[in-house]
A and B are shown apart, each in its own frame.
Chain A
């Protein structure tokens, strides 16, 4: 027995210490976020380039849109607070409060997505498309706006699904499928979200694969890593809100 223990100890010592002094999942998430920040950075620079190099850039965002976007910002900032409180609860080993704070974070994230979808619907109703808009002859506005905000909305949706898996594990799958079915049948067939809602179905399939192939009880590290992703989504919006909305106000 002593020999076996000695062998295990030696094997353990054979691994090199982490380069960054922390666990690999966290380092992996930071590296992913660094690469993802460059994706968003390129989209933000593309939008800002168009904005300042085109004097005729449209300014379609009136008081209603700015108020809506400000509430969306408050939702994301509040979600970051609840997320960090979830991490604190996870460190204490307080599982009920981890779940409560994660659900609160998901609520704020879902509220953000719904408000953003309403904003998109309003703009599409005003005849704004990825290749044109009724306010000016600058076609780039629609393309850069929908790409940038759509990419962010996708990230928020993925984040809500990620947190749902961490908070509820397999119990989240039926919730996700019900939300997908409701979204599909309740949105008009000519709405972009009638098709966009399929992101939830794809998310449910991927979540099911993860949950059934590698079932586990998510610990404080998993909550912290999911928190890193969520805060990043919040961080990106801190640039989108002023650069896209506040730089194109009509007040």
Chain B
């Protein structure tokens, strides 16, 4: 049988640390929402950055992507990120145009 533990190598303490970091980042997001000091577009950008950090922690530690071989890690990361980048370029630039110029 494939020996998963030999590949992963993280300890229970590491997982607890990641869990705590995820809860902390969630608390930061909730505080930002309650304070409402940022405009919607800026708020969206800040929340997206925090979400990407949380997603990175989950994929790297909980899903053990950082323990996989570099070929698998990079192929998955680049392909999915590339697709999202394309969506970002098309959707958000257009949404920003509507917001700035109005619907024509």
Chain A residues near B (Cβ < 8 Å): 19-23, 27, 30, 34, 37-38, 41-42, 45-46, 48-49, 51-53, 55, 66, 70, 73-74, 77-78, 80-81, 83-85, 87-88, 90-92, 219-221, 224, 227-228, 231-232, 234-235, 238-239, 241-243, 245-247, 249, 251
CA distance A22 to B6 in the complex (A): 13
CA distance A226 to B81 in the complex (A): 23
Contact present for B63 and A66 (CB under 8 Å)? no
Chain B, 72-104, CB within 8 A of any chain A CB: 72, 75-76, 79-80, 83-84, 87-88, 91-92, 94-96, 98-99
**Given known A239-B55, A242-B29, contact A80–B4 (CB-CB < 8 A):** no
Contact present for A52 and B96 (CB under 8 Å)? yes
Closest CB of chain A to B51's CB: distance in Å? 5
Chain B residues near A (Cβ < 8 Å): 1-5, 8, 12, 15-16, 19, 22-23, 26, 29-30, 32-34, 36, 40-41, 43-44, 47-48, 50-51, 54-55, 58-59, 61-64, 68-69, 71-72, 75-76, 79-80, 83-84, 87-88, 91-92, 94-96, 98-99
**Given known A22-B2, A81-B15, A235-B58, contact A52–B40 (CB-CB < 8 A):** yes
28 example contacts (A-B, Cβ-Cβ < 8 A) are as follows A20-B68, A30-B72, A30-B76, A48-B91, A49-B91, A49-B95, A51-B44, A52-B40, A55-B99, A66-B30, A66-B33, A74-B23, A77-B26, A81-B15, A87-B4, A88-B5, A220-B2, A221-B1, A221-B2, A227-B63, A231-B58, A234-B62, A241-B29, A242-B50, A242-B51, A247-B44, A249-B33, A249-B36
Instruction: Name the A residues within 8 Å of B80 (CB-CB).
Output: 34, 37-38
Instruction: Name the B residues within 8 Å of A251 (CB-CB).
Output: 33-34, 36
CA distance A21 to B67 in the complex (A): 11
Instruction: Name the B residues within 8 Å of A88 (CB-CB).
Output: 5, 12, 15
CA distance A49 to B69 in the complex (A): 36
CA distance A37 to B63 in the complex (A): 14
What is the chain A residue whose CB lies nearest that of B103?
Answer: A53
Instruction: Name the A residues within 8 Å of B32 (CB-CB).
Output: 246
CA distance A232 to B99 in the complex (A): 33
Contact present for B34 and A243 (CB under 8 Å)? no
Instruction: Name the B residues within 8 Å of A232 (CB-CB).
Output: 63
Instruction: Name the A residues within 8 Å of B19 (CB-CB).
Output: 77-78, 80-81
Instruction: Name the B residues within 8 Å of A221 (CB-CB).
Output: 1-2, 4
Among A20, A238, A242, contact of B72 (Cβ-Cβ < 8 Å): A20
CA distance A81 to B16 in the complex (A): 7
What is the chain B residue whose CB lies nearest that of A19?
Answer: B71
**Given known A74-B23, A88-B12, A249-B36, contact A231–B62 (CB-CB < 8 A):** yes
CA distance A51 to B22 in the complex (A): 25
